[in-house]
Amino acid sequence: MIVNPAPTRTAPKGMRIALRVWRQANATTRGRLVNYQLDDVSPDMSFLEMLDVLNETLIKKGEEPVDFESDCREGICGSCGLMIDGRAHGPLAGTTTCQLHMRTYRDGDEIVIEPWRAEAFPILKDLSVDRSAFDRIIVAGGFVSVNTGAAPDANAVLVPKGDADLAMDAAACIACGACVAQCKNASAALFTGAKVSHLSLLPQGGPERGRRAIRMVQQMDAEGFGSCSNEGECEAVCPKQISIGTIARMNREFTRAALDGAS
Amino acid sequence: MAIATPDRPTTAAPPRFFEAATPMPDARIPSGPLERKWTHRKFENKLVAPANRRKYTVIVVGTGLAGASAAASLGEQGYDVQAFCIHDTPRRAHSIAAQGGINAAKNYKNDGDSVYRLFYDTIKGGDYRAREANVYRLAEVSVDIVDQCAAQGVPFAREYGGLIDNRSFGGAQVERTFYARGQTGQQLLLGAYQAMMRQVQAGTVTLVPRREMLELVVIDGAARGIITRDLVTGAIERHVAHAVLLCTGGYGTAFYLSTNAINSNVTAAWRAHKQGAWFANPCYTQIHPTCIPVSGDHQSKLTLMSESLRNNGRIWVPKSAGDRRPPSEIPEADRDYYLERKYPSFGNLVPRDVASRNAKEVCDDGRGVGDSGLSVYLDFRDDIRRLGRPVIEARYGNLLEMYNRITGDDPFETPMRIYPAVHYTMGGLWVDYHLQSSVPGLFVLGEANFSDHGANRLGASALMQGLADGYFVAPSVVPEYLASARFTDAPANHPAFDAAANAVTGQLDRLLKVGGATTPREFHRALGRLMWDCVGMSRNQAGLERALREIPALRAEFWRDIAVPGTADLKNQSLEYAGRVADYLEFAEVMALDALERAESCGGHFREESQTPEGEALRDDRHFAHVAAWEFTGVGTPPVLHREQLGFEYAHPTQRSYK
């Protein structure tokens, strides 16, 4: 899919962009939206590079730069994630914040930038939040119990191609948290469903599928994430376009395990 | 430290380094035939009884492929493992970005692969600058790695019969690469991460995220702990252990722009170096030919596109300098398909270093394209005509979409533009066969060590090495150390911990107090530009000497004029960044010095003074078949050079040719 079909660009070099950015010193202080103006934004910049430029000007003025997280800046590590004009990762489908480029905007635009908002993701500073709840959901059961050295030959267990492909679709999750941020219930069902699906679709994950589903769902609830009410917003903003079918699969796994008496 | 005479007669200039007076320490390579060395050593290694293992604390710094796999495996054995990472979660480590795949000598395709062939290809690909015994072990355990990953639920690509699919990668003549779509690194990392998280649940691994290691603590000559900074609260913390494993990746961001992640840095390795761990072959960096070019000063990183694109794309530039016509208006007669012209048998598929160097050469000639003049065309036009758009789309759809997303250009309408970028570093902390550095108890795994890749890494080998070190080598060599070493009492209030913690606090204060006007990014960019110009794809004596003059000057300027807002007792990304840039400003010097001292061309290190009449890299085995391991003596003072001679009993050095 080519997302930028226009071969020639008419957008001027050096756009004027108004920003309203959430500033909050730490987890316990109150935050507020602060206005900034950038006058020379290149359409070739990524969204985060635009924030880099803002931060350079703030440091030059002796002010603290805006705290935000990013690492690979190629859409795979899941570090970045901003609420841009009320939409997780901004206006483009299947795109992380770091892969959003300023050519998506026009001269004179105003952009509101907020952190992920969810009780289970406390704000640490400005646009950075604590997503360690995701790690604890994985600790609860998001793995296959196989010690190093105990594995059979890789081809000893056959996996139908269709199952492997579906498992890969689910395994593509980058744990960015957009699904939680966009959901009106702040549900982590897509994140948890993706891992439950990935492992339950493969024979290697079979023996533990029941207890895995039960434990991960219990941990998800314990972390304070909301329930899933089938809004579908998670799927709409997921940069890896993970299907809400994974939530259905998680529910099926959970129910099956509960009826089997797994724990 | 033993200092002997200067390396060359002192005239006016002071010596740049000293030759070590003492012989190189034993690298502990097992004797006996190549294929028995590792098996034999595993048997020789001492063991720790299961009931005693939890009494030993092992610190693992970094949780990429090497760190997560080591932490998981040692945790499974029952050791008390503490795993540290700078990210909010271990799953963000930059191993995640690897696209292509992982090699394993399974011979599933029945096309003549074997452990010996993978060994041979890796030694040759590394241009005969790696240890035979290490590389053979790597090839040997490659088969176990893939078994392990499959058992963890890594969704490898499958054939319809349910077996794992393999492909050829990076010019290899056998199909030995295992892959999970274009996200192999991600899936392997998640496998190792999940294995580690299972040990978190089991209580053997303690996860300590959002920490930066800022000092190695050495007591009685052995690594006994680290000092970290909590990146959220700013707290300086002391962690005591019996052994420390550094798994902190490479130093590609010394160039500012690279395909590495924003937070990739040399700090942990460099601070260990300052505590006595030698740095080996720092000049070996890999420049990848197919990256998206720089678009402007705002550029923060570069994005790699799989080199498989070169299978169907033709690389060209205009024949004459200054030809600014759009590509569609440049007729065939005015185009120079320079790789096809110069290397008729390999054409666009020459190895990474050759493709990269030639791109630089045509751009230096003024024939580069794009606004900056720093890119070349990679053109699918002919194969779109020959095979049809759907075939190209099926093969490269994701890559072309990514390119379009970043540049705004549609590769089906206009040729892509590419330029080389720093991608991987083969150099790193020196380690012996046991992956132990020159500091007992300090082990170095994955890209952070000077590694098994010699002077050049082959495609799909980085993931293999990280996981080999973590899953299979560390679990044998670390227990051997724990069982053999005599541990003295090393409490967290030991004077060595006090000194290390004070050094950390002192540097943070110093950074905050300068109150200058230049940002960490500006210094980083200036250093990167200098390194790219002088220590980049193609190096010469004059350029390297210029780098050695300008780096100390830039470092002095940094400490005069760095601007770091905020405080040290809160989350402060500028402070983190400034500390990393400060370390790069020290490290860069030994990188340039190593490149100057290695007056031969080998692998990714091209010295203009050492080339064949046809302009190809010319190795000098008589003078440089060694590992250069540098010992720190102080910032700005001449280091001591230790040379480890490399012997080749099995793979006999030959000169590469791609004509």
Q: What token pair was written down for A3?
A: 């997302």
pLDDT band at residue B401 under the 50/70/90 scheme: confident
Asked whether residue A10 carries a pLDDT value surpassing 80, the answer given is: no
Taking a C-beta distance cutoff of 8 angstroms, is the pair B138, B122 a contact?
yes
Report the gap between the CA of A81 and the closest CA in chain B (Å).
13
Nearest to B616 by CA among B601, B595, B637, B635: B601
Task: Indicate the CATH number of B290-420 among 3.40.50.620, 2.60.40.10, 3.10.20.310, 3.90.700.10.
Answer: 3.90.700.10
> What residue spans of B323-364 are helical by DSSP H?
338-342, 352-364
At B109, list the tokens.
């395709």
Q: Could you tell me if residue A26 is inside a domain?
A: yes
**Chain B CA closest to residue A64:** B565
Look at residues A106, A123, A140 and tell me which one is the last residue of a structural domain. A123
Can you tell me the distance from the alpha carbon of B143 to that of B105, in angstroms, rounded to the nearest whole number?
A: 6
Please answer yes or no on whether A164 and B158 come within 8 Å at the CB atom.
yes
Return the percentage of chain B with pLDDT > 70, whole number.
98
Nearest-by-Cβ selection for A73 from B301, B521, B566: B301
Distances (CA, A) of A9 to A6, B37, B408, B418: 7, 61, 8, 19
Task: Check CB contact under 8 Å for A101 and B72.
Answer: no
Helices within B310-351 (DSSP H only): 338-342
Among the ranges given (B355-359, B428-432, B590-594), the one the predictor scored with the smallest mean pLDDT:
B355-359
Tokens of B228: 């970290």
Residue A156 lies in a domain: yes
CATH number at residue A227: 1.10.1060.10
Q: Does residue A1 fall inside a structural domain?
A: no
Residues A109 and A136 both lie in one domain: no
Choose one of A66, A97, A123: the last residue of a domain: A123
Pair (A114, A66) in one structural domain: yes
So what's the pLDDT on residue B474? Answer: 98
Considering only alpha carbons, which residue of chain A is nearest residue B300?
A: A49
Which pLDDT does position B311 carry in this prediction?
85
Amino acid at B386: R
Residues of B within 8 A of A5 (CB-CB) are 410
Nearest chain B Cα distance for residue A161, angstroms: 5
Which residue do the tokens 């440089």 mark? Answer: B624
H-helix or E-strand spanning residue B314: strand B314-318
Task: List residues bridging with B223 in a β-sheet.
Answer: B218
DSSP states of A145-203: ---TT-PPPTTTS---HHHHHHHHHHHT-----HHHHHSTT-B-HHHHHHHHHHHHTSG
Please give the biggest Cα pair distance in chain B.
Answer: 76
| Band of residue A7 on the pLDDT scale cut at 50, 70, 90 | very low
pLDDT at A11 over 90: no
Within this chain, do residues A172 and A220 fall inside the same structural domain, yes or no? yes
Beta strand pairing status for B416-425 and B285-291? antiparallel
Q: Is the pLDDT of residue A3 over 90?
A: no
Describe the crossing of helices B65-77 and B184-202 by its angle, rounded to 10 degrees: 30
Substitution target from B158, B256, B407, B473 for chain A, most A beta carbons within 10 A: B158
C-alpha to C-alpha distance for B197 and A144, rounded to whole angstroms: 10
B11 touches chain A (CB under 8 A): no
Identity of the residue in A44, A48, A67 whose CB atom sits nearest the CB atom of B296: A44
Kindly state whether residues A46 and A143 are assigned to the same domain. Answer: no
Nearest in space to A57 (alpha carbons), one of B563, B319, B93, B248? B563
At residue B542, the pLDDT reads 98
CB within 8 Å of chain A, chain B residues 106-165:
106, 108, 144, 146-153, 155-164
Average pLDDT over residues B481-501: 97
Tell me how close the Cα of A239 comes to any Cα of chain B, in angstroms. 13
Task: Kindly give, in sequence order, each residue whose CB lies less than 8 Å from that of residue B128, ignoring residues fewer than 6 positions away.
Answer: B454, B602, B619, B621, B625, B646, B648, B651, B653
Token representation of residue B111: 């096309």
The answer to the question of residue A8 being in a domain is: no
Domain membership of residue A220 (yes or no) is: yes
Pick from B92, B404, B572: CB nearest A71: B92
| CA separation for the pair B278, B527 (Å, rounded) | 23
Q: Quote the distance between the C-alpha of residue B70 and its chain's center.
A: 18
pLDDT digits (tens, 9 = 90+) for A27-70: 999 999 999 999 999 999 999 999 999 999 999 999 999 999 99
A48 contacts B151? CB cut-off 8 A: no
pLDDT given at position A104: 96
pLDDT at position B8: 54
Enter the tokens of residue B611.
């080339």
Nearest residue to B372 (alpha-carbon basis) of B429, B446, B311, B292: B292
Domain that holds residue A209: 132-260
The Cα A144–Cα A150 span in angstroms is 12
For residue B112, what are its two tokens?
Answer: 């003549």
> Under an 8 A CB cutoff, do B156 and A167 touch?
no
- Catalytically active residues of B are 352
Could you give the strand order of the β-sheet that contains B57-61, starting from the edge strand earlier in sequence?
Answer: B205-208, B80-84, B57-61, B243-246, B442-444
Domain parsing of chain B, residue ranges: 290-420, 507-645
**Measured between CA atoms, how close is A200 to chain B, in angstroms?**
9
CA pair distance B250, B248, nearest whole angstrom: 7
What would the two tokens of residue A7 be? 């071969």
Using CA coordinates, name the residue in chain A closest to B94: A72
Taking CB atoms and an 8 Å limit, are B91 and A175 in contact across chains?
yes
Q: Tell me the average pLDDT of chain B.
A: 94
Residues of A in contact with B253 (CB under 8 A): none
Whether the predicted pLDDT of B366 surpasses 80: yes
pLDDT score at A4? 53
Mean pLDDT confidence for B489-513: 97
Find the closest chain B residue to A123 by CA distance.
B232
Set of chain A residues whose Cβ sits within 8 Å of the Cβ of B389: none
Are A185 and A235 part of one and the same domain?
Answer: yes
Is residue A41 situated within a structural domain?
yes
- pLDDT greater than 50 at residue A5: no
How confident is the model over B505-550, as pLDDT tens digits?
A: 999 999 999 999 999 999 999 999 999 999 999 999 999 999 999 9
| B200 contacts in chain A (CB < 8 Å) | 139
Residues above pLDDT 70, as percent of chain A = 95
Interface touch A56/B187, C-beta < 8 Å: no
In this prediction, residues B337-366 reach a mean pLDDT of 91
- Indicate whether A8 pLDDT > 50: no
- A78 and B200 within 8 Å at the Cβ level: the answer is no
Distance from CA of A185 to the nearest CA of B (A): 23
Same domain, A117 and A136: no
pLDDT at B315: 96
Domain count, chain A: 2
Report chain A's mean pLDDT, rounded to a whole number.
95
Distance between CA atoms of B85 and B248, rounded to whole angstroms? 9
Band of pLDDT at residue B100, cut at 50, 70 and 90: confident
**CATH number of residue A89's parent domain:** 3.10.20.30
Last residue in a domain, options A100, A123, A146? A123
Structure tokens that stand for B443 in this block: 């082990």
Q: For the residues of A90-134, what is the DSSP string, one character each?
A: -SSTT--GGG-BGGGS-TT-EEEEE----TTS-EEETTEE--HHH
Answer yes or no: is A3 within a domain.
Answer: no
Average pLDDT over residues A233-261: 97
The shortest C-alpha distance from A63 to chain B (Å) reads 6
pLDDT for residue B7? 55
Q: Answer yes or no: is pLDDT of B602 > 60.
A: yes
pLDDT of residue B541: 98
Euclidean distance between CA atoms B633 and B639, whole angstroms: 5
Q: Based on the domain organization, do A110 and A137 belong to the same domain? A: no
C-beta separation of B456 from B604 below 8 A: yes
Residues A136 and A242 in one domain: yes
**CA B207/CA B142 separation, integer angstroms:** 27
> Could you name the CATH architecture of B507-645?
Up-down Bundle (1.20)
The number of beta carbons lying within 10 Å of the beta carbon of residue B467 is 32
Least confident of A77-91, A140-154, B335-349, B435-449: B335-349
Residue B4: predicted pLDDT: 47
Is residue B576 over pLDDT 90? yes
